[in-house]
């Protein structure tokens, strides 16, 4: 198969936008007029796959057409560090680490989507990954009223829960050594089964950036970590070393189970699938 474009390609952003407009929910006119219900477009993909780049490009393409558009990451609705500390103390220590199902503020996500659906202006949450905490609300950007398109991107969007029997065997050293009884992975899976589907149902279209394997995520996420540190320095923020390679390897083990499940299941659930190679090129 021949590689043709990356998630940053303007042509790809235009194609994703055209697909979203063609599937505008009831009440819209199916065109670019900006009338009718806002479109909630979801872009799912494992860490480092380029989904935030594509989401921003699609929002920019919509704005160039005169539509009111914004993007939101599932990462920006993580629970605060204090909330995760409480979960770690009361449920399982591994819940201190952000990212797996059960560590997102789903009520906050629904509040944002409620405001978008009501065509009200809304502040879009922002999370500081280097500080590992949500930014104060005063620092959140405000999306305009009567938003035509909200692009939501996230590493596990649309992923279903696993069958209980699949949770028995640890998938890595983290689960074997730090979740020997399976309480953490059962908590995450229960959240995915009972709480996340209500959010998934609010998406009008789901696009998937399908990674070639889970193993490639380590290299992609390392590049992302270095970019976070460089961006903080460029913005004049306090110096922050980010995660070392060994820290990152352990961090990714928190995501491995759901990531591998996503690779198996999401291609059959997404509306459109973009298969990536190891260089994040979209294959024919």
Q: Residue 174 is encoded by which pair of tokens?
A: 């983290």
- Residue 178, pLDDT > 60, answer yes
With a pLDDT cut of 90, the percent of the chain lying above it is 77
Per-residue pLDDT, 231: 64
Per-residue pLDDT, 218: 86
Per-residue pLDDT, 143: 93
Q: How far is CA 186 from CA 161, 174, 197, 271, in A?
A: 10, 14, 16, 28
Hey, what domains does the chain have and what are their CATH numbers? Answer: 3-275 (3.40.50.300)
Beta-sheet pairing, 133-134 with 127-128: antiparallel
pLDDT digits (tens, 9 = 90+) for 185-194: 999 999 999 9
Grouping H, G, I as helix, E, B as strand and the rest as coil, residue 73 is strand
pLDDT digits (tens, 9 = 90+) for 30-61: 455 555 789 999 999 999 999 999 999 999 99
- Report the distance separating Cα 61 and Cα 54, nearest Å: 10
CB 14 within 8 A of CB 8: no
Burial of residue 187 (CB within 10 Å: 0-12, 13-18, 19+) is: buried
- Report the distance separating Cα 218 and Cα 230, nearest Å: 19
Per-residue pLDDT, 1: 43
Given its phi and psi angles, is residue 119 left (phi above 0), alpha (psi -120 to 50 degrees) or beta?
A: left
pLDDT digits (tens, 9 = 90+) for 114-165: 999 999 999 999 999 889 999 999 999 999 889 999 999 999 999 999 999 9
More confident residue, 223 or 197: 197
Per-residue pLDDT, 232: 63
pLDDT digits (tens, 9 = 90+) for 116-130: 999 999 999 999 988
Per-residue pLDDT, 122: 94
- pTM, two decimals, is 0.90
């Amino acid at each position: 198969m021949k590689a043709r474009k990356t998630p940053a390609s303007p042509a790809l952003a235009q194609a994703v936008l055209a697909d979203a407009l063609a599937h505008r929910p009831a009440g819209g006119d199916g065109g670019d007029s900006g009338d009718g219900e806002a479109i909630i477009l979801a872009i799912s993909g494992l860490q480092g796959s380029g989904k935030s780049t594509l989401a921003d490009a699609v929002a920019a393409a919509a704005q160039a057409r005169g539509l009111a558009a914004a993007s939101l990451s599932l990462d920006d609705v993580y629970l605060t560090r204090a909330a995760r500390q409480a979960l770690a103390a009361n449920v399982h220590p591994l819940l201190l680490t952000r990212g797996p199902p059960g560590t997102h503020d789903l009520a906050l996500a629904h509040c944002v989507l409620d405001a978008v659906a009501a065509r009200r202006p809304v502040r879009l949450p922002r999370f500081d990954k280097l500080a590992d905490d949500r930014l104060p609300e005063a620092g959140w950007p405000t999306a305009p009223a009567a938003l035509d398109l909200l692009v939501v991107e996230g590493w596990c969007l649309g992923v279903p829960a696993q069958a209980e029997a699949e949770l028995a065997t640890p998938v890595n050293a983290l689960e074997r050594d730090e979740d020997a009884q399976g309480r953490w992975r059962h908590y995450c899976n229960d959240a995915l089964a009972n709480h996340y589907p209500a959010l998934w149902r609010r998406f009008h279209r789901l696009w998937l950036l399908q990674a070639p394997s889970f193993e490639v995520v380590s290299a992609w996420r390392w590049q992302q970590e270095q970019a976070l540190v460089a961006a903080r320095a460029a913005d004049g923020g306090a110096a922050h070393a980010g995660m070392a390679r060994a820290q990152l390897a352990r961090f990714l083990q928190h995501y491995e189970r759901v990531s591998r499940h996503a690779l198996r299941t999401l291609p059959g659930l997404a509306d459109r699938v973009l298969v990536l190679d190891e260089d994040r090129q979209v294959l024919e």
